[in-house]
């Protein structure tokens, strides 16, 4: 099944099962009623630091605009920052949320200002863990409504809850191993780039570009790990191997799928930003539209992944026949 067919099939499944929109809609409603957990004081202090650097004549002569721009960006980000957005896991589990995408539409709701780095880190961790659990629940609900995949379907509530917790714990384990592996690559990579930059700025820039490209390739090869964890109920190692194998055999189709779904999501996000200008009605319509678009793309991911796996398994069977 091609990229376009996978996307159209995903939206067809979602349009036939509107109940799949309920969880992300409830999540957006929760973000709307919760106070905004702002780290504006922390970012404000960092912005003041850059402002002081910009006032230094020597530094200002080297980068007169970069320091001022960084200070302004930090202030703007601080005004819309909300640690509760970590409840939305769009990166691993593709949970759609208008309020996470456009945090500024919440306006002047009550906010809780977090002015401690330790408190900000702890809240980020707690919200992030809760977001992973919500994401695992969301993708399990999608997988239960997709008639393909190695995982069992039509599970009882108790068994489904157990699977969700298992997938949540496996995702946490995967993130821990991924962070350690990335750190092992990052530290020598930064040392190497710095050493080359001391020899030649051109070599340093080239090495930095290659290093960034390497990280992007690694992320691409691990793109289907959480999908394999949930849809096929695989262990961490098996899910990683399956994701790498799938991307290796379908590199350009995977790149095309990622680019097209990103383009759709970004383009519709810009449209919904304009719709939210219609005050309350616009926010409601944009939330519904964003949830449908995002859920359709998430289901399309499951369809694309599973049909590619089936095609690869069929090819392997034919090669042995």
pLDDT (mean) for 175-198? 88
What is the pTM (predicted TM-score) of this model?
A: 0.89
Residue 68 has a pLDDT of 65
Length of the chain: 321
Task: Give every CB contact of residue 172 below 8 A, 6+ residues apart in sequence.
Answer: 129, 132
pLDDT at 29 over 90: yes
pLDDT at 321 over 70: no
Query: SS in 3 state form for 138-172?
Result: HHHHHHHCCCCCCCCCCCCHHHHHHHHHHHHHHHH
- DSSP β-bridge partners for residue 111: 36
Tokens describing residue 39: 């780290």
Give the mean pLDDT of the chain. Answer: 88
pLDDT digits (tens, 9 = 90+) for 54-65: 666 665 555 555
pLDDT digits (tens, 9 = 90+) for 238-279: 999 999 999 999 999 999 999 999 999 999 999 999 998 887
Q: Give the CA-trace dihedral at 99, 262, 242, 225, to 10 degrees.
A: -20
| Share of residues in the chain with pLDDT > 90 (%) | 58
For 259, the enclosing helix (H) or strand (E) is: helix 251-275
| Cα Rg, the chain, nearest whole Å | 22
CB 99 within 8 A of CB 106: yes
CB 174 within 8 A of CB 238: no
Distance separating alpha carbons of residues 257 and 237, to the nearest angstrom: 24
Through-space distance between the first and last CA atoms of the chain, rounded to whole angstroms = 23
Three-state DSSP at 8 gives helix
pLDDT digits (tens, 9 = 90+) for 60-103: 555 555 666 777 787 778 777 889 999 999 999 999 999 988 87
């Amino acid at each position: 099944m091609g990229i376009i067919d996978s996307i159209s099939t995903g939206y067809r499944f979602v349009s036939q099962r509107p109940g799949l929109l309920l969880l992300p809609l409830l999540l957006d409603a929760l973000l709307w009623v919760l106070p905004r957990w702002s780290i504006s004081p922390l970012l404000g202090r960092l912005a003041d630091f850059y402002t002081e650097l910009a006032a230094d004549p020597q530094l200002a002569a080297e980068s007169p605009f970069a320091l001022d721009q960084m200070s302004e960006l930090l202030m703007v980000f601080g005004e819309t920052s909300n640690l509760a957005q970590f409840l939305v896991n769009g990166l691993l589990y593709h949970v759609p949320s208008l309020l996470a995408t456009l945090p500024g539409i919440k306006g002047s709701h009550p906010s809780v200002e977090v002015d401690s780095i330790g408190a900000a880190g702890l809240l980020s961790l707690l919200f992030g863990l809760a977001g992973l659990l919500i994401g695992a629940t969301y993708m399990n609900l999608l997988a239960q409504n997709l008639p393909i995949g190695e995982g069992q379907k039509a599970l009882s509530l108790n068994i489904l809850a157990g699977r969700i917790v298992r997938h949540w714990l496996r995702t946490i384990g995967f993130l821990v191993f991924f962070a350690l592996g990335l750190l092992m690559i990052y530290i020598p990579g930064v040392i190497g780039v710095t050493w080359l930059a001391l020899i030649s700025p051109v070599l340093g820039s080239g090495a930095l570009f290659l290093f960034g490209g390497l990280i992007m390739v690694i992320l691409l090869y691990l793109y289907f790990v959480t999908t394999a964890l949930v849809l096929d109920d695989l262990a961490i190692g098996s899910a990683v191997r399956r994701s790498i194998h799938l991307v290796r055999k379908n590199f350009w189709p995977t790149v095309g799928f990622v680019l097209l779904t990103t383009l759709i999501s970004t383009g519709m996000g810009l449209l919904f930003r304009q719709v939210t200008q219609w005050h309350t009605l616009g926010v409601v319509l944009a939330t519904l539209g964003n949830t449908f678009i995002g859920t359709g793309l998430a289901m399309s991911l499951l369809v694309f992944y599973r049909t590619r796996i089936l095609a690869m398994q069929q090819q392997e069977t034919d090669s042995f026949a």
